Structure formats: structure tokens, C-alpha cells
Amino acid sequence: MWIPAYFSNSGVSTTGLSPIITIYKLSDSSKVVDGAAMIELAEGFYKYNFTDREATEAYTYICDSVDLLGTEQYALGDIEANNVASLVWSEFASGYTTDGTFGYEISSDLKRILGLVHQNIYIDTTKFDREGNMYSARLRIYSNSSSVGTVNDVLATYQITAETTGIGTFSYWKQVEV
């Protein structure tokens, strides 16, 4: 994070200075930067790259031009703490219910819909008639593709039944959650 400071002498932008910056962490009053050199930008502006900033901490800083006197010698400022949770995808912190999701969680209903459109499903315990038509099976929908075919991460289980009427035909197909 770049911290800017402006210096003037009798109201006139001043270049060629060698200002330093001191930064304090407000939570414990510790000095985190002690007299670090600032870089001249242009027309009285100087900057410091505060690379050790912790986003959730608040800071205050003072820039000292060293070469100037009186009130124009110093530039002061504050750095507010960021609420990191509210910055992630502009989500409210109350939306975070599962660690590691960054507020992005797929609802069970959406996972079930994905399963019904053949995402992460597994069909087993099949039964076939003498013509080779399936008339019974179990279908499971999984929330995680790496768990398909196991007992882990099962969202829903359905029993499939069908009445066959001939080779490759049936009069109904029923899929009921169990």
C-alpha cells in the first residue's frame, strides 16, 4: 500500500526533500516503521510503500520532511482497518457459514438439481427383466465428484422403478426419494 504525503514551504510545493515516515499500529501502540525514507513523486508529493501492512489492523503515521520547519515540516494520516470478510466478493460476513468457502456455498437444492441433470450421480443395485430392461435401481446424488460411488457426501438417494412392456420399452418410470 502506497502512503502519500505532501510538503510545501510557505504554501509552495517543495521538491528535493528527504522525508521519513514513522508508522504505529493502533491495536498495541507498537512502532512498525521507524524513520523509513520516502520516495519523491512530483510537485511536493512523496510516497512510501507500506508492504508490511496487515489489512485488519489500523495504523497512524507521521511523515517528517526534516528540511522544513514549523507546521509544514510534518504530514500526518491514518490507515483504517479493512473488514476482510466484507471485501471478499462483496459478501457480508453473516454469509460465511463454512470455513474455506469465501462466502460461496452451493445450496443443497442447487446440488440436488445438478444431480438430477446427471452431475455427480451413481446408479447401482440394478435389476433387469429377462429381456434386459432395467426395472429397478438405486440412484444417489453426491455433493463432491470425488465421492461418487462411495457412502460419503450423499445428498439424496432415489429408488427407481419401471414397468417394462417389451424389449427396450416401459409403460412408466418412477424415481422417488428414499
- Per-residue confidence (pLDDT) for residue 83, from 0 to 100: 61
Looking at the predicted structure, is the pLDDT value of residue 21 above 60? yes
My answer on whether 20 and 80 are in the same domain is yes
Tell me, what amino acid is at 152? N
**Residue 68 buriedness (CB in 10 A; 0-12 / 13-18 / 19+):** middle
- Per-residue confidence (pLDDT) for residue 85, from 0 to 100: 55
Largest CA distance in the chain: 101
Q: Are 123 and 162 in contact (CB under 8 A)?
A: no
My answer on whether 16 and 69 are in the same domain is yes
My answer on whether 169 and 118 are in the same domain is yes
* In-domain check, residue 103: no
My answer on whether 69 and 118 are in the same domain is no
Domain carrying residue 36: 2-85
Cα(first)–Cα(last) distance of the chain, in Å?
A: 56
Kindly report, residue by residue over 23-70, the tens digit of the pLDDT: 999 999 999 999 999 999 999 999 999 999 988 889 999 999 988 888
- Per-residue confidence (pLDDT) for residue 144, from 0 to 100: 83
* In-domain check, residue 17: yes
Cα 48 off chain centre by: 28
My answer on whether 77 and 119 are in the same domain is no
**Cβ count near 45 (within 10 Å):** 16
- The residue-averaged pLDDT of 136-157 equals 90
* In-domain check, residue 97: no
My answer on whether 74 and 33 are in the same domain is yes
- CA 45, CA 40: separation in Å to the nearest integer? 6
My answer on whether 119 and 168 are in the same domain is yes
Kindly report, residue by residue over 93-129, the tens digit of the pLDDT: 555 555 555 555 556 666 666 656 667 889 999 999 8
CB neighbour list of residue 142: distance below 8 Å, 6 or more residues apart = 115, 120, 121, 122, 148, 152, 153, 154, 155
**Bridge partners of residue 64, in order along the sequence:** 20, 74
- Looking at the structure of the chain, the number of domains it has is 2
β pairing state of 2-6 and 8-9: unpaired
Kindly report, residue by residue over 161-171, the tens digit of the pLDDT: 999 888 888 88
My answer on whether 21 and 76 are in the same domain is yes
Q: Are 142 and 148 in contact (CB under 8 A)?
A: yes
